[in-house]
Structure formats: structure tokens, C-alpha cells
Chains A and B, each alone.
Chain A
Amino acid sequence: MEGHGAWRPTRLRLIVCLATLAALALAACGDDDGAGNPGTGNPDTAGASGSLTVYSGRSEDLIGPLLNRYEEATGVDVRVRYGDTAALAAQLLEEGSRSPADIFLAQDAGALGAVEAAGLLAVLPADVLARVDAAFQSAGGAWVGVSGRARVLVYSTQRLTQEELPASIVDLVEPRWRDRVGWAPTNGSFQAFVTAMREIDGDERTARWLRGMIANGVKEYPKNSPIVQAVADGEIDVGLVNHYYLHRFLAEDRNFPAANRYTDPGAAGALINVAGAGLLRSSPNEPAALRFLTYLLEPEAQRYFAQETNEYPLIAGVAPGPGIPPLATLQPPSLRLTSLADLRGTLNLLREVGALP
């Protein structure tokens, strides 16, 4: 046959090569299976041995150290599936009552609300809920905020002064802000802000503002952090973001040329979102899961959020990180996050005005 003799030696070597690789890999499967994978299908014993399964939309960089501390202090084995908040929410909805998860940590209240609406979250005890302002928890008591993030305007300190900034983001539709503003319409916090605006100002005014922004050349970014970067790079001059991204850049570079401006007292532009937690109703480890959830609302964990991730602690007596104005000085709209449930309406509006595909 053609070329048969010529490539036989190579073929042998390749087969050996591939077989070795596959064998090594299969050996690794064996190991991992043995070391206990979640499919053990025996949640009772898992609970007794003190392990918890957490689905976390917060990345390991943001919460891993805190979970390690908890593991060391309590001896509980906290097993975490990290992922995108929305994807994990969809996964929980798909899993239903068969979910292996005990706790859902989400980056935004909308995801918790969707899982709650499907009846998958247990109602939390009153003493846990009492630790956090009613604005930052579910009306049904099925989830609670563990850290806060304020909507702000991030601006370039090289090209703008505080005084030049508008008092309200509503004014960003003015001609002098043409092509100078950035937003992230796919971002959950941005959409929560739009939902709040619809609640406060109505759909019509919200649509008019969104259209005005687009007509004024607002630039679209995939998420918050590239907006902050773009402001520093001079691509844009101001951006609609959550407050803590700036502090992350400042930690890397003290001369980072951007600052936050808290605007819109009492209006949607001053909304405070939360990252929160819920307890799955299907959890076989409810007491342990509840202990963990309670820990997130204790001063140690709250200080961690304040110092390490620059978010707002949500329990009384813990101060925010350096350079961040205290929660009490902010003037958010008087809205409960749980009333921002019409995500579909907001999505439709954003699609209608052309802000989203």
C-alpha cells in the first residue's frame, strides 16, 4: 500500500505515545473518583462528615480566602463550584430539587430572585434576616444580601474635576458628554439600575433616557472593569459602574488616574445592589448550611468584604474600606431590591431601544 512501510515506525511511536497519555489520564480519573466526587449519591453521610456544597457566582479570588478561614475555624469541608452567577442560577433552575448544592452565593439579587421564584430557596430564620437592612433582602425572606455595591460614576481625574461632573446621570444625554461615556448593558448591576429607574420614573422616561444615551454616542463595554480601564486609558471620560472596581485598580497602582463620584441622591443612579446568599430547600445539610450563611453576616466576614473586596459591609458596626464613604452617607432610592423583579421587562426595554441584542 501507498507509503505503508514508510510510516510504520512513526505509527508505532505515536500509538505508544497516545496510549501512554490516555492511560495516565485514566489513572487520574481513577484517583479523582476515589478521592470522592460529588456524585457519591449519599448526601446523608456527606452531611454527617461536615461538608457543604456551595455554588458561587463570586470568583475564588473574591471569596476563596474567607471560605478557607471558615474551614479552618470550624473543620467543615466547604466544597465550591465557581462560575458565572447567571449560569449557576440557570443550572440550579435546571437541577431543581435534585441539586447537590446547599448554598447559592450570587453576585446580584436578580439571580437569587429567579431561584427563589422557582421555589428552590428555603426561608431564612428571622434572627439571620434581622442582621441586614430590609432593603437588602428578599421580601419572602429566602435570600439575604451579604455585601453591598453602590452605583457610581467613575471619571478621569486627568481630564475632569468633580465640579465638572453632572449631579445626575440623567444629564449625561447633554451634548457636552457626546462620545465620552461608557456603560455595560449586559451587566446585572446595570440592569438592576435600569429596573430601579423604571420603578421610579416609569418605562417611558427610562426609554427616553436610554435612547438619549445611545444617540449621544455612549460606548458599550462587556462589563464594569473594562469601563474603569477605558476611563484611565482616555478612551472615555466617565462610566456608569459599581464603586469597588476602581479600588481594585488603585490597589495595583496608587496613581491610577480615575475616581468615583456618588451621584443622584434618592434616584436610581444611587442604587445599592448586593451580592447575596440563599439556602437551597433541597439541602440535606440545613443546619450546617445555615451556620455558614450566618457566618457571612458576622463581623469577621463583613470586615473581609470591606477590606479585601472593597464592598460595603451590610451589618451594623463594620466600617467600609479606606477611601470609601460610609453607607449611612449615601442616599440610595427608597426601594427594596426584591421589588426589582421584572427582569424580563427590563431586558425587553433594553432590546427595544437597541442597547442589547
Chain B
Amino acid sequence: MSLLTGLPARAQRFPPRRRGPAFVWLPALAVAGAMAIPLVYLLVRAAQADADAWRDLTRDSTLTLLKNTALLALAVTAGSIALALPTVWLTVRTDLPWRRFWSVVMVLPLVIPSFVGGLAFVAALGPRGSFQRLLEPLGVESLPNIFGFEGAWLALTLFSYPYLLLTLRVGLRGVDPALEEASRALGAGPWRTFFRVVVPQLRVPLAAGALLVALYTISDFGAVSMLRFDTLTRAIFVQHQSSFDRSAAAVLSLLLVALVVVLLTAEALSRSRGRYYTSGAGSPRPPRVIRLGRWRWPATAFLALVAIAALGVPVGVLLDWLVRGLRAGEPFSGIWSAAWHSLSVAAVAGTVAAAAAIPVAIVVVRRRSMLAALVERLSYFGFALPGIVVALSLVFFSLKVVPGLYQSWAVLIFAYLVLFFPQALAGVRAAMVRIKPSVEEAARGLGRSPPWVTATITMPLLLPGLISGFALVFLTTMKELPATLLLAPIEFDTLATKVWLAADEAFFARAAAPALLLIALAAIPMALLIGRDKQIRD
């Protein structure tokens, strides 16, 4: 018996319509072109590499790097699913106490820059960290080693599972409760219903979120360098840092590109080609709230544990640094202008990325052609490559094409788009697959023009996806570092750059205030967006 029984009719594909309207295609192609910039740059640079750099690829140590990177990506993805799936179910479907609070808190670890998270992890759980000192009176001489694979896995899982949380939220809200009711009525228990009816319905958001987690892991430098685990991205940084050799770094980056291609293919294969909208009118009521009974306490404990590890530990360490800084009379200059810069670039980047995701999502979901698939797959590379590589590719590109705009707002926002677009697309696509084409077709049949249908029918139905896409891009832009340092207008500091510049020189007390403000400011839009969600209602 297949896992997929119990799904609604999921057989026939859409009638193949090769080309859609130009007002959708042209923007989609433009977005795809932008996303191709880092790849083109890598090819140009790698072409200049000498034989030594290519020979490096065949070293045993390079193979180990590839293996490490793939293993870490898989392990972090598995860990993230294990955290995100129960969390999203508990906060969306059950009568768990303080669901609104948990919905916001559980997403927040995403806003912690990974180098801050890594630093905090070492400070808290390292060999002579706060945790060990806390346990010292109890005779605990040393903690398990957090360096290497385990530490990097734990840190990256805790800081990247919110990707899955946000995509799964959209997915779970769209699942027609009638299916579950049917399953229950036919005698399946709650667990069976969850795994056989609900989870298969979540395939698209699950795969999309898992892909984001895996690619984020691949591109991460902060956590792996703090926790001393050798991945390809770390090796690429070392190439830049130690030999200033952009060609050798580009050759190594191509290996990363190959890994990304494998992951993208795996995700595409795992995604079924089924329909995820309901064929009938659907049930016009919110899903039944599942009563947890006495299970509410273990459930709360689970969420609390994750929140303490992912958010409590870094915030605790930062507060400790802040107190030390305040005692030493540390000045907190320029923090408000940096905060304003962070908020404004993040809001604009989020809006632009969500808007750009609309045509691409329409093309990808509605017009199944090779070109549509290519457009979508291309968009992932900016996200999966190390930030420094993408930032340099945009230095290269913007100076060649729009030198007058180099290091201006426009190029900075464009950089965020290239870096974070797949996050917006994941959110919008998850909502798009829920829209029944016949609704749009009915509007067409009633005489509305295609752009008008997109604006008045498709867009409003996409809204939950747009919000989730905006939120993801907003949060990650708030913490972005390499592109901001290279491409922002001069003297345009953000909270993330302030934190990094201080922490990099070991002025931890000075880094604490902007880091805490960064987390607090990210919480506000999250609280607004998720907290206002009508489905979370007691």
C-alpha cells in the first residue's frame, strides 16, 4: 500500500499549455536572468583558473569536504523536519495554550545571524562555557564536545528549522479538513490520519521548506566556522581569505553548484505532480480544533525546550554580554540609525521579493514546461552559494552593467533578491498550488481579461503565501552580512554589520545591544503577521 492513498484524486496533469500570457512570462524570465548572475560569474572566474586549482578538486580532502557538506545538509534537514512538523501541527491545529505566543517565538531563531548563534553556542555550551560552570558545583568536569559535526548539526538545525515552519504553516492551513474528517469517519485513528492524510497533503511545502533548510546549511559559513566543521563553504572562504585567489575559490564553488543540482533534482523528484486543491466546494469551516487533554503539558514542554535551545541560549548569552558592557560604561552609539536601516532594507527586500515571486510561481505551477522548470530551478543558486561569492558576483555584474548604481540602494535590494528569492518563491508557490485553476477559468469565461483575473482572483488567494514569503525574506535580510558589507551605500550600517564588526574584534559587550535589538525588531513584524492569524483562535 502506498503512503499516498487517501489523497484526493491526484491523477491528471494540467492540459499542457506551452506559453502563458507575456505579462507573466516576461517578468518571470527577467527574475530568472537575475538569478543566473552568480552562476555566470563563477564560470567566468573558473575559466581563468590554472591547472593547480582544477587538480585540487581531485584531492582526497576535497572529497571529504563534499561528503561533509552533503551529510550535514541531510542531517540538518532531517532534524529540522523533526522539530518543525510537530511544532506547526501543535500551533495550528490543537488547543495548545498560548498558541499565538508559540507561533511567533518558534519562528524567531531564524533571525539570529549564524555567526552570533555559533558564538553564543560556544560561549554557552563550550568546554568552559556558562552551562559547564553552572554544572560545576554538581561535579561536572566537562561537557560532551560540541565542536565538529554534532555541534554544527545542532546549531544549524536550531537556527534553520523555522524555514520549514513558515512553509508548513501555509500548507497546513490550506488542507481541507473534510479529508481528515472522512479519514476519521472511516475509522482511522488520529496518528494514522496525520501521517496518511495530512502529511502527504503537505508534500509541496515540506519539500520546499526542506530544500531551503538544506541549501541554507550548504551556504552557511558562520556556524560551521565557529563550531569547527569543515564544509565546502568554509573551504571557499579559506581560499578567499588566505590566497586572495578568486579563480581557485570559483572552481571550488562549482563543486558546490554540482551538489546543489543534486539536491534540486532530489526535491523535484520527491514532489508529486498531484493536485492539492479540492475538487468540490471544500468545507467552508475552519478545521476542528484537536483537544490535547493532558498531552498539552508534554507538548508545551517540547516547544519550550526547542525555544530555550534555539532562542533562549543566544539571547541569554547576549544579555550577559550586554550587562557586562553596561557595567563597563560601553556607549551604544548609532544603534537607532542602524536599526532603521535594517528595518527599511528588510521591508523593501521582502516586498520586492514577494512581488517578484508572483509571476514565477504562476509560471511554475500553471505552465509545466521545461523552461518553467528551468526558471524555477535557477532561482535557487543565489541562495545556496556562499554569501561572499554572490556578493562578489554582483560587484562584478553591477560595475559592468549599471556602474552608476554601484553601491546604491537599488543594487543592494537587487542583491537581497538574488540571495533570498527562493524563500519568497517557496511561500508563494505553496499557496499557488492550492488555487483551483477552474476558479480563474470561470473568471475568464465570464469575460475578464487575463491580467484582471490575476489581479482580482489569483493575487488575493495568494495572499497567505505572499505574507509568508515576505516574512522569510524580511527576516533573513535583517541578518544578511557579506552582501551588505560590500554593496550597501557607503557608511550605511545595519544592525547585522554593527554586530559583526564588533564581535569580529572580540568587543562582545559592544555587539550585544545591536544583536538584541535585531532580534526584538524582527519579532514585531512576526507578531503582527502571525499573531493576527485568524486561525489561531482560542
Contact = CB atoms under 8 A, between A and B. Distances in A.
Interface of A: 1-3, 6-7, 10-11, 13-14, 17-18, 21-22, 24-26, 28-29, 32-33, 37-39, 41, 53, 59-62, 79-84, 86-91, 93-95, 98, 100, 110-111, 114, 186, 188, 191, 220, 222-223, 225-226, 228-230, 233-235, 245, 248-249, 252, 343-344, 346-347, 350-351, 354, 356-357
Nearest to A248: B506
Interface string B437-475: 001000000000000000000001101000100100000
A72 B392 CA distance: 34
A39 B128 contact: no
B467 A14 contact: yes
Nearest to A9: B534
B406 A100 contact: yes
Q: Which 7 A-B pairs have the closest CB atoms?
A: A225-B506, A114-B244, A233-B128, A357-B230, A25-B344, A37-B489, A39-B408
Interface in B22-74: 52, 59, 61, 65
A22 B351 contact: yes
20 contacts: A2-B283, A6-B286, A14-B532, A17-B528, A21-B525, A22-B347, A25-B345, A25-B348, A26-B348, A32-B492, A33-B408, A41-B404, A80-B491, A87-B482, A90-B246, A94-B246, A228-B506, A233-B127, A343-B244, A357-B231
Contacts of B460: 11
A32 B509 CA distance: 30
Nearest to A89: B244
Describe B's contact surface by its main secondary structure. helix
Interface in B479-528: 482, 485-486, 489-493, 497, 501-502, 504-507, 509-510, 525, 528
Contacts, number: 199
Most buried by A among B245, B467, B491: B491
Contacts of B234: 357
A34 to B, nearest CB: 11
A21 B344 CA distance: 8
Given A86-B241, A191-B242, A248-B506, 8 more contacts: A37-B409, A79-B491, A81-B490, A90-B240, A100-B406, A186-B237, A222-B225, A357-B231
Interface centre among B176, B396, B439 (most CB of A within 10 A): B396
Given A26-B348, A87-B388, A357 B242 contact: no
A2 B286 CA distance: 9
B501 A347 contact: no
B243 A344 contact: yes
A357 B246 contact: no
| Majority DSSP secondary structure for residues of A touching B | helix
Nearest to A249: B506
Interface residues of B, number: 85
Nearest to A96: B399
A25 B347 contact: yes
A347 B404 CA distance: 37
Contacts of B491: 79-81
